Structure 1
Amino acid sequence: MEINDGEEEDFEFSRNYFLAKELAGSGKKSTRKISDINVVDEQELRAAAANIELKHEKEINTLVNSYKSLYPKWVFELGCGFGLLMYGFGSKKVLIEDFASTALTEYSVVVINGYLQSINLKQVVIALAEIWWEELKTKRRTPSGVSSKFQQPFNSQSMDDLLAFLHESDVEENDSFVCIVVHNIDGPGLRDSESQQYLARLASCSHIRIVASIDNVNAPLLWDKKMVHTQFNWFWYHVPTFAPYNVEGIFFPLILAHSSTAQSAKTAAIVLQSLTPNAQSVFKILAEYQLSHPDEEGMPVDALYTTARERFLVSSQVTLNSHLIEFKDHELVKTRRNSDGQDCLHIPLAVDALEKLLSEINQ
């Protein structure tokens, strides 16, 4: 039987692939350690990044200025009840804030910086209720149209009451609204399901409009069909700015820098990714124990074995020992001896760094 050149090439590719897998499987275990990762001082790295010369500055300015011709259209679409979602390569912070400060001067604007690590959405909703109530009083549209229970909505601790107040439709002009600018609506402080649900409910309120930006390619996975088409009612705009993320990047740890809690967790997570899923799960047991027993020297080896065996992560003490050897070789775990003379396992990370590491593992 004859074999043509294409089939022979496919055969050779398959053969090389399986040979590579076989060699990889038969090789020695990884000897990488946290201390082997070459890192630099964070301030030095940020200073170097800040001094990188921006290329094609003239072309970029021309591109960004071309978006300004869209401002009247964006205002019109907000008035029609749409939300604006900006996507594309580069920071859109300056562009959106320029739009808000020049084209939305007749409206109140509240800014949410989604690139921050934590955001209190309830305080945002209270602030929106306060602003809208002041506008109602200023425009003398009060009391006949608004029910008594909403006379001071910002004193209520109920999100449902606050959102209901913002959704009241007894206003003369349909295009009267408060605009929320959300930089990085897919940021770490807003990425959870509860925050996105609250933002979607906010966006569906009669007197709220949202202008937001996204930078993660998987950001649309945060929303279901109802949220996209009914609540947020997005009008998508591709507005690449090619601008550096100078402000947003300040709040993210640099992977090549050291001396920070977040970075300690990040480097440990990098090492854990080279281990097997079972080894990662065993490490997770140890980390959870250490967080829940802060006053102890560490987790006894026998206790770790019992828990890991109950969760079907190890079948024998030999299997557990192989995981522990890897942990110690990578400097993820150290051994201590408690007051009873029993060997205990301890992860050499601060509490906040260990919590950060657990969140990295669970993602």
Structure 2
Amino acid sequence: MASRGGDRALPTSAASGAAAAAAEEMEEGGEEEFGFSRNYFLAKEIGSASGKRSAARKLSDIDLVDEQVLRTSLAGIATKHEKEIKALLKRYKDLYPRWLFELRCGFGLLMYGFGSKKVLLEDFASTTLTDYGVIVINGYLPSVNIKQVLITMVEVLWDQLKVNRKCPPNKSKMQLPSSSQTIDDILSFLDSQISTDNDGFICVLIHNIDGPALRDSETQQHLARIACCSHVRIVASIDHVNAPLLWDKKMVHTQFKWCWYHVPTFAPYKVEGTFFPLILASGGNAQTTKTALVVLQSLTPNAQSVFKVLAEYQLANEKEEGMPVSTLYTKCRERFLVSSQVTLNSHLTEFKDHELVKIRRHSDGQDCLYIPLSTEALEKLLQELV
């Protein structure tokens, strides 16, 4: 019996020792796992709390720098790698004869690459295109009048042909197109009524053909038709990463006939950037309008219509402190935009969350709604909000 008990005692002892070791290991692992879990939930709790705090802050709460001060500081930044940049531009100048040859063959030149290409293109025009009329279009400007550009093109080309005595005698007294004519009429005149001598072309130099004022489909179609004219050549630059998406295969190969050149200059966009508000600067009405437009376009058509009612009221009553909520509700009900006060409140909540609409107390004690945009910015927003 003793031996049996001894026989049984050994495995029992071993088992208990193994169990104790396992328990100790589990305890240590448990403590480690518990510590990890505790730290995880503490981090989540702190993150949630900080997230709530950060969500309460808005871009308008940040103390931004005055735009003029920021631009002055940027202008004072010293240029680096001047020798390397000059050597790079010298290599591009060696390409001028080739570029002129391609223009005379009927192709267009499209320059892309990092850095402003304004100085490079204007240097090419002033040194190599001296025998041809040159018209410069600054596509980075907020607005460009394509019709006026076309009229100027006709006048420049007509004068050039007269100087070179290549104008047909029977057309020397022909009346040139005026601003009262349509763009199609001017394009037809430009393409068919003037001599088609290959040497009698003018060059249209377009800085940023992908600029905000030129990147819509209709304008690009007009520019493509201009490029098709036998006595017009286009030299353009692009900087937007999605600029090639402006054109289809026909426009690229048949109309513009682009010869692509990678010409990074690493020059700052000083002139081009003048018309765009800086992100870290205050007072950017254009950027505010663009942001408001993006937010409104993401809302439902009913919500956009409610906003229009408020905007139109604000423009018609500039001297008032705002539009009473009850007045807005009445006008929206009359136009069948909302069916109840709850629906209107849901729209107003969205507006307030995105800072499109704010509330202030009227002199008679009632809450009034107003849009924190200038009159000019609000008018532009209503024009673009279709």
**TM-score class normalised by the smaller sequence:** 0.7 to 0.9
| Partner residue in 2 for 1:31 | 56
Aligned-residue CA RMSD (Å)? 3.9
Partner of 2:124: 99
Partner of 1:326: 353
Q: Which runs of 5+ in 2 are unaligned?
A: 1-39
1:41-80 superposed matches below 5 A = 41-80=66-105
- Note the alpha carbon deviations across 1:2-36, whole angstroms, 9 max, x for none: xxxxxxxxxxxxxx9xxx9xx88xx6493233531
Cα deviation for residue 171 of structure 1 reads 3.5
Give TM-score scaled by structure 2 length: 0.74
8 Å CA contact 1:286–1:304 kept in 2: the answer is no
Spell out, residue by residue over 1:122-158, the C-alpha distance to the aligned partner (whole angstroms, 9 max, x if none).
111111111111122223333456497x443357623
Higher helix share: 2
For the pair 1:176 / 2:200, whether they are aligned, the reply is: yes
Counterpart residue number, 1:294: 315
Structure 1's 309 and 236: CA in aligned 2 closer, same or farther, altered over 3 A?
farther
Change in 2 beyond 3 A, CA 1:323/1:338:
farther
Q: Distance in 2 between matches of 1:251 and 1:325?
A: 29
Q: Give the distance between the partners of 1:123 and 1:325, measured in 2 at CA.
A: 43
Higher relative contact order (Cα pairs below 8 Å, separated by 6+ residues): 1
Query: Are 2:250 and 1:229 equivalent residues in the alignment?
Result: no
Percent of residue pairs bearing the same amino acid type: 55
> Which 10-residue stretch deviates more, 205-214 or 191-200?
191-200
Cα offset, 1:230, TM superposition: 1.4
Runs of 4+ in structure 1 displaced over 6 angstroms? none
1:47 deviation in Å?
A: 1.0
Alignment partner of 2:266 out of 242, 263, 267: 242
Are 2:277 and 1:256 equivalent residues in the alignment? Answer: no
Given that 2:226 and 2:232 are in contact with CA atoms closer than 8 Å, whether structure 1 keeps it comes out as: yes
What's the offset of the Cα at 1:352?
1.8
Aligned to 1:137: 162
Cα separation, 1, equivalents of 2:70 and 2:215 = 27
TM-score after normalising by structure 1 = 0.78
1:94 and 1:230 map into 2 onto residues whose CA distance is: 28
Q: Does 1:354 align with 2:378?
A: yes
Kept in 1, the 8 Å contact 2:204–2:235? The answer is: yes
| Inter-partner Cα distance in structure 1 for 2:358 and 2:239 | 36
Q: 2:146, 2:189 → 1: CA distance?
A: 16
Change (3 A) 1:292 1:216: farther
Which is worse superposed, 245-254 or 72-81?
A: 245-254
* 1:85-105 superposed Cα distances (whole Å, 9 cap, x missing partner): 000000000111111111111
Aligned-residue offset at 1:279: 8.6
Matched pairs, number? 336
Is the Cα–Cα contact under 8 Å of residues 279 and 323 in structure 1 kept in the other structure? no
